[in-house]
Amino acid sequence: MTKSEGLSAILQAVMRNSAKAAKDKYYPRWHLAPITGLLNDPNGFCFDGKYYHLFYQWDPLSCEHKNKCWGHWRSKDLITWQHQPIALLPDEFYDKDGCYSGSAVIHQGQLTLCYTGNVKFDDGSRTAWQCLAVENQRGGFDKLGPVLGLPEGYSGHVRDPKIWQHNDKWYMVLGAQTLDKQGKVLLYRASHLYQWQLIGELAGSHLGGLDDAGYMWECPDLFELSGHFILLTCPQGIKKEQYRFLNSHSSAYLMGSFDYSTLQFQHGDLIELDAGFEFYAPQTTQVNGRRLLFGWMGVPDGEEMYQPTIANGWIHQMTCPRELQIREGQLYQQPVKELQQLRQNVQYWQGIADDAPEINGFCVELEVELIDSLLIQFSDSLELTIENNQAILKRRSVKNGEWQSRFWSGDIKHLQILCDSSSVEIFFNHGLGVMSSRFFPSAKKIINFSGKNTIKLTTWQLNDALFS
């Protein structure tokens, strides 16, 4: 498909489907979501000094994982977002089967994208190129082509470059799979963005004290936070445990130390980043001393193709933007403070949970202080139970209606819950744990509380965010 043919097809899809998506009762009122088609990984999250930029994997032509383009939003405040020209289309020989995920930096005064060009062959094999594109005066991007081919000893599953600069050098982490199907993160270094040197395997299966940890590590992101180095990754094929890594694919992190002189990463165990039903492919950026994160509120290869929004021509959304912090040696995630501007009509209540007023509507934020056990029901489709130092999030399967469960363990004293039309993000103990999930209630949108213990409840209605 040529670029002009692709743009024409996308324009037709937007004109045909966007009004239907916007009227869907499940379409978010303040989260980012596609105007049509399928959205997945956040890409190129960065700040240019004036605007936040968030690119995203997008199939505008269907609710399938095909036709992977890069859509583009920008914002001055992380609340009001503007659509920008489509950044990347799969219209070159080196990215003809998809412009896969990557990152963005400001280089020589230009917003520069680094992404994976995916190429599939007739015999079922594939290859991958790491490619560059630079912003032009029209707000679109001009492709510069590949700067890195497939490294020796790895399959065609090498993708998702995250690049950053430290002192006078550029660095890249890259998700990879060895020929014997072991997931790794590769580390590269460069003096400029056009010629990269492979340093070696930074982390992965059978490295750094880990056992078998999956067949492919996607979406790596390495950064320093309060003297600790964090490697975010999505280890596909990691073994499910009783209470962790229960999704079809999970998002996790390693915490440790990284030495720029030796380029060695020492770390502890894999920790699940978000324990909910839908969270994947997180990407961060550094802005004025803050480490900010967006994630995809979806999971590949799960029940996504049974979600009811497909009937209205769209699927998936982003998480809320979050700020990461280290407190007492542990990683915390919290909604960015800018989101408080959406709050209105605050209400306070204290008493026995059984007597708490029901809350109408899902476009709300809740803050709950609790002593012990508590049950929160979100209509007929989602339940949060807290008892015996454990949170259990139960949701009806969109495939067969059966109840499924996810877990987070800890002595829970505080909840911050952000709801939208078909999503919930639950932050435990000021962000020490998080559960993000989509849900699609068939009944009236009501939140109920149950329990014999005292709770303190603060409730805000949330204004719609603005999109243009």
Q: Which two tokens stand for residue 66?
A: 């095909």
Compute the mean pLDDT over every residue in the chain, rounded to the nearest whole number: 96
Tell me where in the chain the CATH 2.60.120.560 domain(s) lie. Answer: 337-462
Q: Which residues are catalytic?
A: 41
197-244 pLDDT, tens digit each: 999 999 999 999 999 999 999 999 999 999 999 999 999 999 999 999
Which pLDDT belongs to residue 97?
97
Taking CA atoms, 129 is separated from 5, 115, 176, 286, in Å, by: 23, 8, 12, 26
Q: How confident is the model at residue 6 (pLDDT cuts 50, 70, 90)?
A: confident
Q: How confident is the model at residue 16 (pLDDT cuts 50, 70, 90)?
A: confident
Do 285 and 162 touch, CB atoms closer than 8 A?
Answer: no
CA–CA separation, 384 and 387 (whole Å): 10
CATH 2.115.10.20 domain span(s) along the chain = 3-334
> Per-residue pLDDT tens for 158-174?
999 999 999 999 999 99
37-59 mean pLDDT: 98
Q: What is the CATH number of domain 3-334?
A: 2.115.10.20
- The stretch 396-418 carries a mean pLDDT of 96
Buried b (16+ CB within 10 A) or exposed e, 214-226: bbbbbbbbbbbee
DSSP-derived pairing of the beta strands 423-428 and 81-83: unpaired
Q: What integer is the mean pLDDT of 83-102?
A: 97
- For tokens 């139970």, name the residue: 385
**Spatial distance between the Cα atoms of 205 and 217, rounded to a whole number of angstroms:** 9
| Res. 1: pLDDT tops 70 | no
Using only C-alpha atoms, the chain has a radius of gyration, in whole angstroms, of 22
What digits encode the pLDDT tens for the residues 175-205?
A: 999 999 999 999 999 999 999 999 999 999 9
Average pLDDT over residues 375-404: 96
Question: What would the two tokens of residue 229 be?
Answer: 């180095």
Residue 170 pairs with which residues in a beta bridge? 165, 190
Q: What local confidence, expressed as pLDDT, does residue 463 receive?
A: 96
23 secondary structure, DSSP code: T
- Dist CA 191 CA 205 (whole Å): 29
**High-pLDDT (> 90) share of the chain, %:** 93
Tell the CATH topology of 337-462.
Jelly Rolls (2.60.120)
Structural contact between residues 126 and 133, judged by C-beta atoms closer than 8 angstroms: no
For tokens 């383009």, name the residue. 69
pTM of the model: 0.97
Rounded to the nearest angstrom, the gap between the alpha carbon of residue 201 and the centroid of all alpha carbons in its chain is: 24
Burial (CB count within 10 angstroms: exposed 0-12, middle 13-18, buried 19+), residue 315: buried
Q: Contact at 8 Å (CB) between 133 and 88?
A: yes
Distance CA 91, CA 103 (A): 19
The pLDDT tens digits of the residues spanning 264-284 come to 999 999 999 999 999 999 999
